Amino acid sequence: MRGGSGGGPGGGLMVAGTTSDAGKSVVTAGICRWLVRKGIKVAPFKGQNMSLNSFVTREGAEIGRAQAMQAQAARVEPTALMNPVLLKPGGDRSSQVVLMGKPVGEMSARGYHGGRQRELYEPVVACLEELRGTYDAVICEGAGSPAEINLRRTDIVNMAIARAARFPVVVVGDIDRGGVFAQFFGTTALLAPEDQELVAGYLVNKFRGDVTLLTPGLDMLKGLTGRPTFGVLPYAHGLGIDEEDGLRVSLRGAVRESEVAPPVGEDVLRVAVCAVPLMSNFTDVDALAAEPGVVVRFVDRAEELVDADLVVVPGTRGTVKALAWLRERGLADAIGRRAAEGRPVLGICGGFQALAERIVDDVESRAGEVAGLGLLPVDVRFAPEKTLARPVGEALGERVEGYEIHHGVADVRGGEPFLDGCRVGAVWGTHWHGSLESDGFRRAFLREVAAAAGRRFVPAPDTSFGALREEQLDRLGDLIEEHADTDALLRLIEQGPRAGLPFVPPGAP
C-alpha cells in the first residue's frame, strides 16, 4: 500500500450513492473494517455532512456520528479532519454550520449554496490531504447523489473531492427500493466527462434472493457503461449503524424487522421515545435496545405512553419547538401525569431542558422566556457559545462516560444530583448523550426504572454495548470481504482510477 506514513499521499476511494440512504455510510464503514483487518492504516472522510446525529471528539470537536462510527470501524480515534463541515438543520430552510468541529453561524440553504459552500472547498481538501499524509488509505463517503446537477457548481463532498484527490469512485445503489439499474446508468450519464473518468463501477446493496437472477442485468449495465459491478451485498438486518437522517435504532430489539431478545427476568420493559421535531442523537437509546427484553419504539401520540414503563424525551435542535409539539399533541400532559404517579421519565439534552421550569432562549428559537414542563427544579438559559465536552462521572454507584452538545445552560436548584442534571422521584434529566452506553450504569438505571414501573424485569448481567458495536462492525467488514470483489477494490485504492473508461452520454447539461 502506497503513501501515508510511507511519505507520499495515501491512496483512497470515494463511496458515492445513487440516492440518500443507499448505504454509503455502512459500506464505507465495512470497507474501513475490511482494510484495517488486512493491516492497512485507514481513515474515513466526509467533506460535508448534514445530520442532527453528531458526536464530540476527544479534542472537543463536533462531527457526524457516522464518521465517528467509521473511525471506530477503522480502529482509529475520530477527529474533526474526518468531517470538516457539519450542517445541523434548524428548520426547513436553515442550518447551523459547524466548521472543524466548532459552530460558525446559522445560514439559509440559499446563502450556503450561493457562495459560502464554495469558500469551504479549500479547507475541506486540506483536511483530506492531511489525512492522506498520515494514513495508507482514506475512504471518502459522498452525500446524497453525485448527479445532483443543480448543486455540482458548489460541490465540496462528491465529485469535486474525488477530482481533487484523483480518487476512483464506486457508486452504491439500494436494490431493495427498486430501479437500481436505471439509477446506476442515470447517475453516470448525468456526470461531466471529467467526473465520469473517475467512476470505476458499482456496488449493489440490500439484495434479497438468488444473485444469479441479477447477472443478466449486471452484464447489460457493463455493456452500456463499460463499468463493472464490484459486488452484490445481501440484505442484512440491523446494520443501520448511527444513521444520519433516518429515524432508526440500530441494535437488537429496536430495528423494526429484528427480533426482540427474550428477557432475563419475567417481564419485558417497554420504552417509548417521544419523536420530537428536529430530534438529535436518537442513537442514545441504542444501548437500551441492546438489552434483552427491552422494547424501544418511537411515539407521537399521548395514548402510546399509557403502557410504557419508561418515557424518553430525547435531544432536539429545537427545544422550544419540541415543547410546543409536546403540548399540541397532548404528550406534555401525559408526561406530567406520569411524573405525578411516580412513573419513570428520562430527559436527555434538549429533552432535559424541556422538563425544566423555565427556559430563556434568545439564541436557538429567539422566543425569549418560555415555560417548561416544570417537572424538574431547573432553569435553562441559552448561551451563544455551544458546550462541547466529553465528561466522565458517576451515577447510581457506577462510572459513566458521555458527551455534551448544547447551547442551553442549566441552573439546577434542587432534586437529587444526576450526572450534570438532577432527579425528582422517577423523573431524571441530564445533558449527557451516550451515558447509557456505560454498561454498569445502564443496568443500574434499568433496575431503578423496573422498580418504579413495578416490572419484574432483570437486566442481563453480561450485555456489553461496546462488544455489540464491534460485532456489528465486524459484520460490515464480513459483508465486504465475502460479497465484494476485494482484489479489484484494493487495486482501485492503491492505483487510482482506471484509464480509458468510456463516456456515457449525454453528460452534465
- Please report which helix (H) or strand (E) contains residue 175, including its range: none
Please tell me the predicted confidence (pLDDT) of residue 242: 52
Please tell me the predicted confidence (pLDDT) of residue 93: 75
> How many whole angstroms separate alpha carbon 322 and alpha carbon 338?
19
- Please report which helix (H) or strand (E) contains residue 469, including its range: helix 465-483
List CB contacts of 330: < 8 A, sequence separation 6 or more.
301, 302
Instruction: Please give the DSSP secondary-structure letter assigned to residue 115.
Output: I
Please tell me the predicted confidence (pLDDT) of residue 119: 86
> How many whole angstroms separate alpha carbon 86 and alpha carbon 89?
10
> How many whole angstroms separate alpha carbon 406 and alpha carbon 417?
19
> How many whole angstroms separate alpha carbon 441 and alpha carbon 485?
43
The angle formed by the CA atoms of residues 237, 16 and 183, to the nearest 5 degrees, is: 80
Length of the chain: 509
Partners of residue 348 on adjacent β-strands: 430
User: Of the listed 406, 407, 433, 483, which one is catalytic?
Assistant: 433
32 classed as catalytic: no
> Consecutive 10-residue runs of the chain (509 residues): their mean pLDDT?
63 96 94 98 96 94 96 98 94 85 84 73 96 98 94 92 97 94 98 97 95 95 98 81 47 39 87 94 90 93 95 96 97 97 97 97 93 98 96 97 97 97 97 97 97 95 93 95 98 95 94
Please tell me the predicted confidence (pLDDT) of residue 1: 58
Instruction: Please give the DSSP secondary-structure letter assigned to residue 454.
Output: T
Please tell me the predicted confidence (pLDDT) of residue 240: 52
> 148 phi and psi, to 5 degrees?
-75, 85
Please tell me the predicted confidence (pLDDT) of residue 54: 94
Please tell me the predicted confidence (pLDDT) of residue 250: 39
List CB contacts of 92: < 8 A, sequence separation 6 or more.
none
Q: How confident is the model over 215-244, as pLDDT tens digits? A: 999 999 999 999 999 999 999 876 655 555
Asked if 295 and 253 touch (Cβ cutoff 8 Å), the reply is: yes
User: Of the listed 127, 349, 422, 431, which one is catalytic?
Assistant: 349
Cell of residue 233, nine digits:
451485498
Helix 65-73 crosses helix 24-37 at what angle (to 10 degrees)? Answer: 20
Asked if 265 and 293 touch (Cβ cutoff 8 Å), the reply is: yes
List CB contacts of 438: < 8 A, sequence separation 6 or more.
398, 399, 400, 401, 402
Partners of residue 382 on adjacent β-strands: 408
> How many whole angstroms separate alpha carbon 356 and alpha carbon 378?
5
Asked if 25 and 53 touch (Cβ cutoff 8 Å), the reply is: no
- Which residue, 347, 387, 390, is CA-closest to 363? 387
Burial class, 86, CB count within 10 angstroms (exposed 0-12 / middle 13-18 / buried 19+): buried
> How many whole angstroms separate alpha carbon 440 and alpha carbon 461?
9
Q: How confident is the model over 153-181, as pLDDT tens digits? A: 889 999 999 999 999 999 999 999 899 99
- Please report which helix (H) or strand (E) contains residue 189, including its range: helix 180-189
The angle formed by the CA atoms of residues 421, 423 and 427, to the nearest 5 degrees, is: 115
483 classed as catalytic: no
Please tell me the predicted confidence (pLDDT) of residue 226: 97
Please tell me the predicted confidence (pLDDT) of residue 238: 64
SS3 for 388-402 is EECCEEEECCEEEEC
Cell of residue 485, nine digits:
470483489
Q: Which string of DSSP letters, residue by residue, matches 412-447?
A: E-SSEEETTEEEETTEEEES-BTGGGSHHHHHHHHH
Kind of pairing between the strands at 48-50 and 368-371: unpaired
